[in-house]
Structure 1
């Protein structure tokens, strides 16, 4: 450890309580990567602050030495935003894990960043309310992490992404000062919308130390219907009819033929007939009119040639339908040994074109390109399965991923709907964002973080 590094660690030890610092290299290595598996160097130290004041002390030490800071939640991200960079102080918010207040009158909760999404959702339910964001990793994903990435989930078609549920934030800026981005009122247009700017910024603008999030009235019991189709085009047509109905579903998910084949191999108890080429799941959580919504789903299935359909009236039956969706990733990961998990989004009118392009890539490049995910809001999660021990197949898989992202952009879409940029998709930004827009974003970064110490090399 260099003399500068020793001074930084000594200063952190003076500022934080005993047990709040990790310098052991073996432990650091185990904490340096999010689920993307990528890192851009080796961290110097990991700290676990327990309060906003302690976060401020850490940031001031980093500011004084020009040391990079990388905020971490549960490291469930898929783009590298929470992974280490060389010489960084990793800031783990797991000790800041309290739900400070739930206010039924104002329909809000005030929470620290280390609270998990599931913990908040359960606390809201106990108060007769509802926290809408639902990333797949809700059991482990933290509020701070989902704010940093503007996480989505299956309920986005009805409730939107995390940003739609965040009212205000307490953040620590790069100079160590703490500010609140706006009032906690439902409506506020005073000044620029710094809250929305910080949400999704992947820790490059500020460190979130407290969040005020909006809660909703509790929905009705979730009920759903699924259907199998003879073609993916038929499933897309049914999905578009359901998504544009007067009452949007709470969930609308699609699986393609590659996914169904992998699921058949992975779990034979999930009945996936060999003649099915696509699967749709539609869910309602309406307090009133749920029967009409379910009937509407089934009419759309039938109108577009569904081979069969199944209705789930109870939570147990619905869990049985969701079981098909839940095994998607492990089924395709295990098909050849690993997979690239994509995250593109396109306008609904372009869904068929991106699906057709995926099929063309599969045939031309000889790799599985499976199109699945949140068809209701156009946010597909293509999964490209390949053998990591086959260098040529690995190359072709990554080529397919690059081409798929490029096509999404040309269709008026985006290279990421909810996973974020991190380090994984930096090279794709130049195609999607104009030089002037990139310039504006870097100017905003410089205004928040003039020394460039907050999660450098990420997002922008």
Structure 2
């Protein structure tokens, strides 16, 4: 694959890219490159890149990809580095392609409820920009105030609103993608309906940078919802909280948000924020719901949610339509990761999704795994769609092996409950074996065939998702 010309060798690649993109776009200082070499999961393997490149346009991305393909150098696409599976981690001798400078909201078409964006746009910035037009972009990962849309697209990110509005792919109409030979593929359309040809858009969403580099996305928007009403319910028993979730789904209620936190998570958040979430009043597991239906419809939905929680054994149920009070309750949920970090130890955040009727079994199973390995496991997640985030707390290298044992056992548990090993964080460089088990040999073969057909020389993100 590598060229014999000086410009087509790995040794001359950084100089070539500097000449074409400018000195500010090509970083080779080892300390600077180290900051771009991994995401927020410290446990996944990472290597030392040849260079970090920050393009400003699709044309510059094409230039980088073509030069890397010619030199036989792999390309690892990266956004803000907020991932939790090592999917954007460097491999030795690669070019880390950082897309944060491509941060334009190109267009907001209010009449057709469409936005066209570059991959470096921050999720929260798009939400704010379209809200000024009375529009709404639903996907809202917990890191929405600093994660980029490109990363959201690469991992098919979800968030707190998935129960009602779906995950990232449900809001994507089309993509611009730079392929391994540097050519530009445009997928999808701007129309509400469109079934011509294969759905290549969905193929690239969630591909974690292994099939191409997304440089532009056409996104579907929704009318801006009403300010939500909020309900919090505290349950003394996990099974009761799980029963409430099952009943909410069975009764056809569709809150815009439904989150769950186990007792250990609740206590960690209370300590972190210096607040009271009901753990001292006979409560343990916390269920947090919102309704953005507006007006009387929201009041009816909150009343129905309150009834179900009370009848399911909640020790405390409280609802409010005050945005400020609701915001404080939401702060508790969005502070979970910081609360866990404040516990003063290392942690592995798992990401399994199970049928909603089996959430309680997953939480109880995590408690048994915790006892078996002798480590704390805290559980929180999106009860509305069954996507849970058990987090294993451990202390240093001495406990790492047990922590990894617990991590894998949680994934095994999720699969045994009819679930999946990743609901929104992706596979990256940490869950390849687990993905292979979930897909099975035929599914894995098809994945590999697709990858080879689009990237026969293995330019993009080697070692992520699965081996070639």
Distance 1:204 1:407 in 2: 28
Q: Which residue of 1 aligns with 2:363?
A: 355
Q: 1:260, CA displacement in angstroms?
A: 2.2
Aligned ranges 1:101-116 → 2 under 5 Å: 101-116=107-122
Distance between the aligned counterparts of 2:179 and 2:232, measured in 1? Answer: 47
Is 1:22 aligned to 2:30, yes or no? no
Which one of the candidate residues 17, 41, 50 is aligned to 1:12?
17
Q: Which residue of 2 aligns with 1:441?
A: 447
Mapped contact 1:344–1:405 kept (Cα < 8 A): yes
The alignment of Structure 1 onto Structure 2 pairs a total of residues equal to 458
Please give the TM-score of this superposition, normalised by the length of structure 1.
0.96
Judge conservation of contact 2:206–2:426 (CA < 8 Å) in 1.
Answer: yes
**2:51 matched to 1:45?**
yes
Shift of 1:137: 0.8
1:367 corresponds, among 344, 366, 375, to: 375
SS at match of 1:210: strand
Shift of 1:242: 2.0
TM-fit CA distance, 1:335? 2.8
Rate the CA distance shift 1:6–1:365 in 2: closer, same or farther, 3 A.
closer
Residue of structure 2 in register with 1:82 after alignment: 88
Show the counterpart of 1:290. Answer: 298
After superposition, what is the alpha-carbon deviation per residue over 1:124-165, rounded to whole angstroms, capped at 9, x for unaligned?
A: 101111100001111111111100010010000001110000
Match of 2:331?
A: 323
RMSD: 1.7
SS at 1:376 equivalent:
coil
Q: How far 1:336 sits from its partner (Å)? A: 5.0
Q: Distance in 1 between matches of 2:277 and 2:354?
A: 30
Larger CA deviation: 375-384 vs 392-401: 392-401
- Contact in 1 for aligned 2:122/2:145 (Cα 8 Å): yes
Distance 1:182 1:309 in 2: 45
Q: How far apart, CA to CA, are the structure 1 residues paired with 2:116 and 2:56?
A: 16
Larger displacement relative to structure 2 (437-446 or 218-227): 218-227
Match status 1:156 vs 2:162: yes
- Mapped to 1, the partners of 2:35 and 2:344 lie a distance apart of 26
Q: Compute the displacement of 1:273 (Å).
A: 3.0
Instruction: Select 1:223's aligned residue among 229, 233, 241.
Output: 229
Residue of structure 1 aligned with 2:310, choices 302, 313, 316: 302
User: Hey, what's the Cα distance between the residues in 1 that align with 2:77 and 2:436?
Assistant: 25
Q: Is the 8 A contact 1:333 1:385 kept in 2?
A: no
Is 2:348–2:391's contact at 8 Å kept on the other side of the alignment?
yes
Which shifted more, 147-156 or 363-372? 363-372
Q: CA, structure 1 residues 3+93, in 2 after alignment: closer, same or farther (shift >3 Å)?
A: closer
TM-superposed deviation, 1:185? 1.4
| 2:149 is equivalent to residue 143 of structure 1 | yes
Q: Which runs of 4+ in 1 moved over 4 A?
A: none
Per-residue displacement from partner, 1:27-54 (whole Å, max 9, x unpaired)?
1111111111244311001111111111
Q: Deviations over 1:84-124 (max 9, x none)?
A: 11111111112111111111121100011111111110111
What SS does the corresponding residue of 1:94 show, helix, strand or coil?
Answer: coil
- How much does 1:246 deviate? 2.9
The correspondence for 2:240, drawn from 234, 244, 248, is 234
Give the secondary-structure state (helix, strand or coil) at the position aligned to 2:342: helix
CA distance in 2 between partners of 1:98 and 1:411 (Å): 42
CA distance in 1, matches of 2:274, 2:14: 53
Quick check: 237-246 or 49-58, which moved more?
Answer: 237-246
The aligned residue for residue 276 of structure 1 is: 283
Q: Which aligned pairs between 1:152-231 and structure 2 lie closer than 5 A?
A: 152-231=158-237
Aligned residue in 2 for 1:387: 395
Structure 2 Cα separation of the partners of residues 185 and 66 of structure 1: 39
Question: What whole-Å deviation, never above 9, does each CA across 1:397-434 have from its counterpart, x for those lacking one?
Answer: 22111111012112211111000000011121222111
| 1:35 aligned partner | 40
Does 1:95 pair with 2:85? no
1:190-240 Cα distance to aligned partner (Å, 9 max, x none)? 111110000000000010111000000111111111011111111111122
Residue pair 2:228, 2:294 contacting (<8 A) in 1 also: no
2:431 equivalent to 1:425:
yes
Q: Cα distance 1:260–1:132, how it changes in 2: closer, same or farther (>3 A)?
A: same
- Measured after TM superposition, the shift of residue 247 of structure 1 is 3.9
SS of 1:134 mapped into structure 2: coil
